Structure 1
Amino acid sequence: MKNVYENDGITASGKLWEDALYDAGNNAITAQFDGKGSISRYAVMNKYEVFTKFYTLLTLDGVPIDYIRDKKVEMVGKRQITTIDAVRAQIVVTQFLDNTHNCIYTQFAVNAKEDLSFEAVMNFGINYQSYVDQLPGARLNARNLLRILGGFLGGKKQTEEKDGEVLVLRGKVMGDFYIDAALSSGGKMGECDRGFFNQFAVGGKVKAGSTGVFRYVIGAGTRGDYTFCDVKERLAGFDAALKEAQEYIDSLVPPAHVTDPMERTYYKSLLNCSLSNYKELGKFKGFLAGIVYQFPARTYYRDGYWTVLSVLPVKPELVRNEIMTLAHGINKKGECGTAVRYNFKCHWGNHYDSPSFFVIMAYDYAVHTGDMSIFAEKVNGATVYELICAVLERFKQEVDGTGLLVKGGKYNRRDWCDNVFRGGYVTYDEALYCRALQAAAQISGALGKKEKAQAFEADHDRVKKAINALLWDEEKGWYVNYRDGAFVEDNLSIDTVIVALFGIADEARAKRMLQNMEKYLETKNNKEQGMGDWGTMSVYPYYKRAWDIVQKSSLPAYYHNGGDWPYWSNIYAYAKLAYGMDYKYPLLRWFEYNAEKGNYTPVEFYSPIHPDGSLLQAWSSTGAFVMSYPEGDFFKKSL
């Protein structure tokens, strides 16, 4: 399909048969619209995927519309609008989410050129496998088991309720799994399989020169818990929800200096990505990593840190919530896992980057909001400041005589690069640790804890000196990836850019490293990689020791072994901005390249020769952060 950046969104033009997959999320669910009037994905947070397939057949006088008809698809915020030239009529399909409810809204507006009868017929398959697979990880407790048992033993599963022109279908799929739909005029129920509907329609007669509007709202989940949504009520509030969707789009205001249509679209898309991944479930309030991290619902220390950077200037209260949720994941030993689950349980324990991210996130929040009260907030009897001290004290068990962290164990993959066994001194982990010590020193000083501040500052100076003495490669002109005893992985890794960004490298080294990144990681400049101009590589050359790389990173130009991770491309772009270099290529190329491929929301990772990662990935929003702080001095600010 052909893309145009207009009205702060992406407009794709093509034929009706072509997919235009667009992901959307609110506080309860994620959904995907396909540019044909169907719902290609529907996932309820901490529950399950609802559909295996979903089909929409648009008919005029009972005849399905030809799939070679022209269409345009407009995508922005939580909304997709598909306009179809059906010869006898123009059909405008509007699909969207509101901000909070577990339901999906669909409207068909039929602008008739002659008298006709319109009907949209929907059918779908239920994802039973997801229901079963996700039960142990997210929903297995006594209360839910009683609900499930009651659902299996209950009576009639399918009901129809007629209220004027509105038809409400209520179905019980299995156990505690319901599916409901509220249909406007012309609503009909079709096949009922196993006692619940899997086919329905809306439509009616439309006079020449007039517009017929037909709507439905569909929702699935568990009656009586946080997922329940009254679809009849939502259909009655359809116009208010449609207005809310527009107001949400309007609230995504690009910075004043961003005027180019593509860049305005970019900013709105990325900020929408961050906000769409914010979820609240009881006391759990935080940013999920993306659409494939909902079962069980969890927020990551590293993903959360990079995600909140774009949110901080617009909704700092959400950043505060993220900090408090992550604080629950710190155990009594001061250890952090990779993530915190919806029930505050640790997800994959004792990571080497998570503690530093917790400290740095709290610090950045305080620096850029002035809210020092965050450090006095208590979680499980300890203040946030005490937890900062605890995680850094725990880290001392991993430190050797140089002051650096030693990432021990033969198969240690416990940081962001979790498909690579990086041992010993890992530049990325050391730089984060160094920044965390600096942050802790400033926090302690601001709180009047002079001795603590001096101790953290001394540790920071020692680590900074060791990084520059042991991990800089003068011949190559960059910091090595990692040094594990006698072995050195000296490829150029994009995650080492934080050494420049955090001021650990002096200006000469920082610029030299960034110039080499421009030469080797930006594919427009690196002809050796042989795949053309496709973005910014995460490493180059590829990892040289086969035993160190596993799963997707086993393949060259993929995942951690050279694939493009947009969040890193954006952070690298910010480092170039901070040092007065041309930064637009790493900032924008990944977005443009993926839009051309039909990835219309921010992708997790990608490669020109391997499958793409998931879409609507929260930390890929860092480009909005770059645009929000154009002076390049975000990390230079202090308390």
Structure 2
Amino acid sequence: MTSPTLKARPRADGLVETDLPLQLAFMAPRLQGDFHPEGRLEVSLWGCGRMATVQLEPWTGPFVHAPNRIIGTEAGLHVAQSAPVLALTGAKIRRAAPARRCAWWGSLTKPQKVERKGALRRVTTPWGVTLIEERSDGIVIAVGASEEEAQRGLLLSVEAIVAECAAHVARCDILPTAPALLRSMAVQSAHAALSSIRHAEDGSFLGLAAGQAYSAPTRTYYRDGYWTLQALLTLDLPAVRAQIDLLATGIQPDGEAPSGVILTGPAQGLEWEKFRTTNKVYKEEHLRPTDWWSDHFDSPLFFILTIGDYLRRTGETEVLARHWQRVAAIYRRYRAYDMAGNGLPQKPRHDRDWADNVYRHGYVSYNIGLWIGALDVIAEFGGTQDRALAEEARTVAVKARAAVDEALLTEKGWYADYGIKGDFVEDHLTLDSLTLARFDAIPAEKARSLLGHVQQVLETRNNQSQPYGDWGVMCAWPPFKRPADTRAKSAFAYRYHNGSDWPYLSGLYAEQRLRFGLADWSYPLTRWWQTSLENGWIGSVEYFSPPFGRGSLLQGWTGMHAAAILAYRERVEKEMA
């Protein structure tokens, strides 16, 4: 998969240069899409879906990539922030066409004719409009759920759009004194987090996007959002507060929550409901109109953890008061999963947590870490709402911590992925077991020991038993030993949850090495990015592995690297030279 030379080169200014016409995924508060310098631009709108495809004259390189921007030898693309509009400079349009569906599951519409009036093209779909205006200094492409929204975008000059884009690039440059590889990674990681903040047509907050490819149906996730907002706790606190209120709408009275909350606009919403209610599989998995994959085991815990992180940063207890009944319901729900009375909930055998291609059951290290972290939030802040419940949570946390080793510690010295001793235990090492360290579910000395095992087993540079050399940090190794516990992509060794590098988890790992004062934090912080540059992947990738390539681009929770840098900036700056 990798090559001895980089297809893309990090520059000292934090940008990325390439001689090849590589794909740029872009994402702003409303507008998003993909640009291929060979001559294709695809634009979509948050809440609406695919809008239009614009064919351009091919661009020539070399190309310089930045967040939401690409500049070639003669042409450039710049995405605004204040409105769903972009500017093309030095470019020539061949043709434009409306999207036939809002998403792959949407109804196929009849082709609509592109209207032309002088320098203006109007590209219409039943769910929105794209306006393309050729000006003396460039081409402006504005998109809207309505004519009014698109027209607001056209009010911006090319100069203003270019300036807004440049300001966003500068905002993402969170480590300007770093060497090229680290600086450019930090820029892309901060961009992944900041660009996840999405807006509705009226400008109000409309969720944190999991990634550019996770927008149809438009939705926001509990887990993806949690790891994404770790950087936003420093970069954009109002977005974190708004995300809490939005996610609260998905919590059911019994404490259950879906993987994500659906936020579609009217037209896309109607199409999604038509698909959801007529497709047997989707109807069984998405039980309510606003549910994206109902009843996920980790989602309610992330809701509590998000509140806790926000309270520790701001002290604004009103947020907890507003959602206390939901927090209490979640607590009671997980107490009911404590089958052994040891304070640890047991997960039913299903594929509904972040490892959604794996049927994990029993004690799951990843979920146990989240649970103990949630107990600490209730114990620390819940006394103002219900003193008795807060004290109960504190007692349960003590009991749970005392039971972790008995339930999960293996003879190899690390914590098992999942299972119940005496029944079945998947005892391979997983990167997501680091939630035990992050939320202090295990003592500090055992956390350091766990991080040592991760370094020796999951860092591919140190694991000579995996056949692909040095390419990143595996999420699990060795592969799952019981094939019946995996499905779809994870059924293949080194693919997806079965050993790929998930950069968000590499960011968690780097964060914990920094937190515990361990050396070699730069490997998990940058190796995924080096692999991306070697392969010509511009931006924050979802996951990758040598035999299977990459997942989607511009993944929000890859902002975990920016979060680690922001939390431990002084040490990073001191040691990065």
1:596 aligns to 2:534 (yes or no): yes
**Paired residue type of 1:302:** R
The equivalent residue for 2:139 is 216
Aligned equivalents of 1:4, 1:550: Cα separation in 2: 37
The equivalent residue for 2:63 is 73
Structure-2-length-normalised TM-score: 0.87
Structure-1-length-normalised TM-score: 0.79
The equivalent residue for 2:301 is 356
The equivalent residue for 2:412 is 476
Deviating runs (4+, > 6 A) in structure 1? Answer: none
Q: Residue 429 of structure 1 aligns to a residue in which SS?
A: helix
Aligned match of 1:384 in 313, 320, 323?
Answer: 323
Aligned match of 2:134 in 183, 203, 226?
Answer: 183
Structure-2 change in CA distance of 1:106 and 1:404 (3 Å): same
Q: Residue 62 of structure 2 aligns to a residue in which SS?
A: strand
Q: Residue 178 of structure 2 aligns to a residue in which SS?
A: coil
1:160 aligns to 2:105 (yes or no): no
Render the CA deviation track for 1:52-77: whole Å, top value 9, x for unaligned. 6x54226xxxxxxxx8x6x2211112
| Contact 1:47 1:134 (8 Å CA) reproduced | no
Render the CA deviation track for 1:141-162: whole Å, top value 9, x for unaligned. xxxxxxx9xx99xxx9554334
Q: Residue 479 of structure 1 aligns to a residue in which SS?
A: coil
1:233 aligns to 2:155 (yes or no): yes
Aligned match of 2:24 in 22, 46, 51?
Answer: 22
1:276 aligns to 2:281 (yes or no): no
Render the CA deviation track for 1:201-243: whole Å, top value 9, x for unaligned. xxxxxxxxxxxxx411124454357x53456434xx2211211
Structure-2 change in CA distance of 1:104 and 1:255 (3 Å): closer
| Contact 1:578 1:632 (8 Å CA) reproduced | no
Deviation at 1:358, TM superposition (A): 0.6
| Contact 1:181 1:231 (8 Å CA) reproduced | no
**Unaligned 5+ residue runs, structure 1?**
59-66, 84-90, 109-118, 137-147, 186-213, 377-382, 634-639
More helix by share: 2
Aligned equivalents of 1:496, 1:275: Cα separation in 2: 27
Q: How does 1:387-398 map to 2 (within 5 A)?
A: 387-398=326-337
**Paired residue type of 1:305:** Y
Deviation at 1:600, TM superposition (A): 1.1
Q: How does 1:50-65 map to 2 (within 5 A)?
A: 50-51=51-52, 54-57=54-57
Render the CA deviation track for 1:337-388: whole Å, top value 9, x for unaligned. 1111116822212211111111111101110223223223xxxxxx212221
Deviation at 1:314, TM superposition (A): 1.6
Note the aligned Cα RMSD (angstroms).
2.5
**Unaligned 5+ residue runs, structure 2?**
1-5, 265-288, 572-577
1:416 aligns to 2:416 (yes or no): no
Deviation at 1:425, TM superposition (A): 1.2
The equivalent residue for 2:79 is 97
Structure-2 change in CA distance of 1:57 and 1:525 (3 Å): same
The equivalent residue for 1:406 is 346
Aligned equivalents of 2:103, 2:390: Cα separation in 1: 51
Aligned equivalents of 1:487, 1:595: Cα separation in 2: 41
The equivalent residue for 1:267 is 186
Q: Residue 534 of structure 1 aligns to a residue in which SS?
A: coil
**Paired residue type of 2:329:** A
| Contact 1:307 1:619 (8 Å CA) reproduced | yes
| Contact 1:73 1:82 (8 Å CA) reproduced | yes
For this pair of structures, how many residues does the alignment match? 537
Deviation at 1:556, TM superposition (A): 0.8
Deviation at 1:563, TM superposition (A): 0.4
1:426 aligns to 2:384 (yes or no): no
Aligned match of 2:495 in 536, 541, 558?
Answer: 558
Aligned equivalents of 1:575, 1:131: Cα separation in 2: 39
Aligned equivalents of 2:538, 2:179: Cα separation in 1: 18
Range that drifts further, 263-272 or 215-224: 215-224
| Contact 1:8 1:268 (8 Å CA) reproduced | no
Aligned equivalents of 1:45, 1:502: Cα separation in 2: 34
Identity %: 28
Q: How does 1:530-569 map to 2 (within 5 A)?
A: 530-569=467-506
The equivalent residue for 2:292 is 347
Q: How does 1:237-636 map to 2 (within 5 A)?
A: 237-255=157-175, 259-281=178-200, 285-342=206-263, 345-376=290-321, 383-400=322-339, 401-409=341-349, 412-445=350-383, 447=384, 449-473=386-410, 475-484=411-420, 486-581=423-518, 582-630=520-568
**Paired residue type of 1:601:** G
More strand by share: 1
Aligned equivalents of 2:57, 2:523: Cα separation in 1: 42
Deviation at 1:130, TM superposition (A): 4.3
Structure-2 change in CA distance of 1:229 and 1:28 (3 Å): farther
The equivalent residue for 2:280 is none
| Contact 2:14 2:173 (8 Å CA) reproduced | no
**Paired residue type of 1:539:** A
| Contact 1:9 1:74 (8 Å CA) reproduced | no
**Paired residue type of 1:316:** L
Q: Residue 308 of structure 2 aligns to a residue in which SS?
A: helix
**Paired residue type of 1:358:** F
User: Which protein, 1 or 2, shows the higher relative CO under an 8 Å CA cutoff with sep ≥ 6?
Assistant: 2
Aligned equivalents of 2:138, 2:12: Cα separation in 1: 25
Deviation at 1:397, TM superposition (A): 2.3
**Paired residue type of 1:330:** I
The equivalent residue for 1:45 is 46
